[in-house]
Structure 1
């Protein structure tokens, strides 16, 4: 088992899964479209962000996007995890948790002291995020006016 930064070609292959990841992670709140998927990770990658991949027997089992953003509320640069994905066949084996811990290690070497992510209501992954130490900071609420 290896966790390492994705190569350029691997990053391109990961980006090919953007619609799958968007559909699954947004729990139906967002209609999966290429334009929306590109808006999520492209700015992070353009600003020095990257993917870490979990690889075993030369097969990618999953990945995590890692980057930094400026948090205007705390007025500091914080780590961001815009995406984490594990192929269904490898879920429940601790892949995502290992990816998170490696992402935290990378962010610490970049002198980042805090990391944030967004999770949609109803996404079962929230339990994992809480298990590894994430906590609620704010809640985005909406109301349809139709």
Structure 2
């Protein structure tokens, strides 16, 4: 398996799955719409991109990576915006390999911190915990 930056064609394939990714990643806390899906995908303006996991020419999964300014620390930080592995390719360590490669890339580029957002109940949180991510803030909600 190879992990590398996504090609234009692969980005188009990834974007076709944006609604599915939005629905799965938000654990039904968000009603998926095309507008919300567009907002969550990396802009690919140079500050963000996708890393893909590919085997024998088949796209298995991807991770969105980019940068943002952290107003709490007054520093630029790396961000992991989207992690997805096709259902048939899950439970093979692909998500972990994508995350680890993203972290290596961020470290190589000189970032001291990497952030991500994960919804309550998302099974990917266990992976993020295993990789050393720590809770920084908690968004709480009460339905009325």
Shorter-chain-normalised TM-score: which range?
A: over 0.9
Deviations 1:4-54 (A, max 9, x none): 1001121111011100000000000000101001111244x2252110000
CA–CA separation in structure 1 for the residues paired with 2:47 and 2:89 = 28
CA–CA separation in structure 2 for the residues paired with 1:76 and 1:48 = 15
Question: TM-score, with normalisation over the residues of structure 1?
Answer: 0.94
Q: Report the number of matched residues.
A: 144
Partner of 2:28: 28
Partner of 1:56: 55
Q: Residues 96-135 of structure 1: matches in 2 within 5 Å?
A: 96-135=95-134
Query: Is contact 2:5–2:50 with CA below 8 Å preserved after alignment?
Result: yes
Give the CA deviation at 1:122: 0.9
Deviations 1:61-91 (A, max 9, x none): 1000010000101110001011000011111
Q: Which contiguous aligned blocks of 4+ residues in structure 1 show a shift greater than 4 angstroms?
A: none
Unaligned runs of 5+ in 1: none
C-alpha root-mean-square deviation of aligned residues, in Å? 1.1
Partner of 1:10: 10
Unaligned runs of 5+ in 2: none
CA–CA separation in structure 1 for the residues paired with 2:80 and 2:65 = 5
CA–CA separation in structure 2 for the residues paired with 1:98 and 1:8 = 22
